[in-house]
Amino acid sequence: MRVQPFGEDPQPALKAKTGAPAAAAAVTAAAATYRTTIKIDSSNWSAWNKTIHLWNRDTWTYLPVNNPGSSLTATVALPPGNYFVGAMYGIYDVDSFLLTKSFTVTSSAQTVVLAQASAKEVALKVDDATARHDASAVWLSLPNGDLIGFAGGYNNTRTFVTTASTPGTTLRTHEILTKKGTTALRPSPYRYDLTKSWAHPFPSSLIGTSKTAALAKTTTTIRGQGINTPGTYESVSMFGEWTGVYLSTQMRLPATFVEYVTPGVTVSRFARYGASQYLDLGDRVLPAGLSPSTTAGVGPLAPSRRKYNDDSRRAGNQLQILENMPYGDSAGNHGYDYAAKATVELSAGGQVLKTSGTGSMVVDVPAGEQTYQLKQTHTRTVAGSQLATMVDSDWTFTSGSATRGVLDLMDLAMASTGLDQRNRAGAAPVTLTVVPSTRRTAAASTIRAIEWSTDDGATWTDLPFTASGAGVTASLAVPATAAFVSLRITAENDQGGKLTRTVQRAFAGPATGADEKTGDVTVSNVTINGGSVLNLGTSGTASVAATFTATAPSGIADAGLFLWHGAYNAPDGVQLADTSCTPVNATTASCSATLYFWDVRYMFSSNALAGTWRASAWATAKNGTGLAHRHSAGTLVVKRVTRLATANATPEPVRKGKKITITSTLTRADWATGTYAAYANRAVTLQWIKRGAKKWTTVKSVKSNAKGQLTTTVTATADGSYRFVYAADTASAGAVSVFDYIDVR
- What CATH number is given to the structural domain containing 730? 2.60.40.730
pLDDT of amino acid 398? 95
pLDDT in tens, 679-724: 999 999 999 999 999 999 999 999 999 999 999 999 999 999 999 9
Q: What is the mean pLDDT of residues 175-198?
A: 95
The predicted-structure confidence for 412-426, as pLDDT tens digits, reads as follows: 999 999 999 999 999
Q: Kindly state whether residues 349 and 493 are assigned to the same domain.
A: yes
Q: Is residue 291 part of a domain?
A: no
Distance between CA atoms of residues 254 and 272, nearest Å: 11
Cα–Cα dist 384/393, whole Å:
23
Same domain, 187 and 80: yes
Per the prediction, the chain carries an average pLDDT of: 93
Phi, psi dihedrals of residue 531, rounded to the nearest 5°: 85, 0
> If we measure between CA atoms, which residue out of 513, 615, 627, 623 comes closest to residue 559?
627
Residues 432 and 554 in one domain: no
**pLDDT-wise least confident of 16-30, 186-200, 433-447, 676-690:** 16-30
C-alpha–C-alpha distance, residues 148 and 50, integer Å: 13
Residue 108 falls inside a structural domain: yes
Asked whether residue 80 falls in the same domain as residue 165, the answer is yes
Closest CA to 334 of 307, 369, 299: 307
- Domain assignment present for residue 170? The answer is yes
The pLDDT of residue 67 is 82
Report d(CA 102, CA 142) in Å as an integer: 13
pLDDT tens digits for range 27-76? 434 579 999 999 999 988 888 889 999 999 999 999 999 888 888 999 99
Task: Report which of residues 217 and 149 the model is more confident about.
Answer: 217
Q: Are residues 408 and 491 in the same domain?
A: yes
Phi, psi (degrees; rounded to nearest 5) at 45: -65, -25
Q: Indicate if the pLDDT at residue 16 is higher than 80.
A: no
Residue pair 445/405 in contact (Cβ under 8 Å)? The answer is no
CA 332, CA 325: separation in Å to the nearest integer?
11
Query: Once rounded to an integer, what is the mean pLDDT over residues 400-409?
Result: 90
Weakest-pLDDT range from 276-280, 400-404, 555-559, 665-669: 400-404
pLDDT in tens, 507-536: 999 999 999 999 999 999 999 999 999 999
State mean pLDDT over 104-123.
Answer: 95
What is the average pLDDT across 303-317? Answer: 91
**Full domain range(s) for residue 708:** 642-742
Q: Which residues pair with 54 in a beta bridge?
A: 63, 85
- Segment among 131-135, 239-243, 378-382, 487-491 with least mean pLDDT: 239-243
Between residues 334 and 46, which one has the greater pLDDT? 334
In which band, very low, low, confident or very high, does the pLDDT at 4 lie, cut at 50, 70 and 90? very low
Q: What is the pLDDT of residue 308?
A: 83
User: What average pLDDT does range 87-95 have in this prediction?
Assistant: 87
Residue 18 predicted with pLDDT over 80 = no
Nearest to 53 by CA among 84, 96, 91, 22: 84
Shared domain check, 201 and 142? yes
Query: Is 287 inside a domain boundary?
Result: no
- Answer whether 600's CB lies under 8 Å from 606's CB: no
Is position 278 within any domain?
no
Query: What's the pLDDT tens digit per position in 442-454?
Result: 899 999 999 999 9
H/E/C letters for each residue in 383-451?
CCCCCCCEEEEEEEEEECCCCCEECCCEEEEEEEECECCCCEECCCCEEEEEEEEECCCCCCEEEEEEE
Give per-residue burial for 477-515: e unless 16+ CB within 10 Å, then b. ebeeebbbbbbbbbbbbeeebbbbbbbbbbbbbbbebee
Of the residues 265, 282, 300, the one at which a domain ends: 265
Tally of domains in the chain: 4
> Where does a domain end: 579, 610, 639?
639
**Domain annotation covers residue 301:** no
The pLDDT assigned to 3 comes to 43
Strands in 186-228 per DSSP E: 190-199, 206-210, 216-222
Tell me, yes or no, whether 477 and 585 share the same domain.
no
- pLDDT on residue 14: 42
Give me the CATH number covering residue 557.
Answer: 2.60.40.10
Residues 281-293: what's their mean pLDDT? 97
133 in the same domain as 50: yes
Say if residue 604 is in the same domain as residue 726: no
Q: Are residues 623 and 646 in the same domain?
A: no
User: Mean pLDDT, to the nearest integer, of 316-324?
Assistant: 94
Q: Please report whether residue 277 resides in a domain.
A: no
Place 299 in a pLDDT band, splitting at 50, 70 and 90: very high
Angle at 474 between CA 469 and CA 479, to 5 degrees: 165
Q: Is residue 567 part of a domain?
A: yes
DSSP-assigned states of every residue in 89-138: E--TTS-EEEEEEEEEE-SS-EEEEEEGGGEEEEEEEES-TTEEEEEEEE
**Residue from 547, 424, 414 nearest 484 by CA:** 424
Q: The whole model's pTM is what?
A: 0.90
Closest to 348 (Cα-Cα) out of 322, 319, 312: 319
Helix/strand/coil (H/E/C) assignment for every residue in 128-180:
CCCEEEEEEEEEEECCCCCEEEEEEEECCCCEEEECCCCCCCEEEEEEEEEEC
Q: Is-contact 247 135, C-beta < 8 A?
A: yes
Q: What percentage of the chain has pLDDT greater than the value 70?
A: 96
Residue 598 sits in the same domain as residue 684 = no
**Residue 347, beta-bridge partner list:** 352, 373
Where does a domain end: 492, 508, 524?
Answer: 508
The rounded distance, in Å, linking the Cα atoms of 106 and 103 is: 10
Based on the domain organization, do 216 and 347 belong to the same domain? Answer: no
**DSSP 8-class letter at 574:** E
Q: Is the pLDDT of residue 19 over 50?
A: no
Residue predicted with more confidence, 652 or 2: 652
Please tell me the distance from the alpha carbon of residue 192 to that of residue 267, in angstroms, as a whole number.
Answer: 13
Contact 641, 537 (CB under 8 A): yes
Residue 11 pLDDT > 60, yes or no?
no
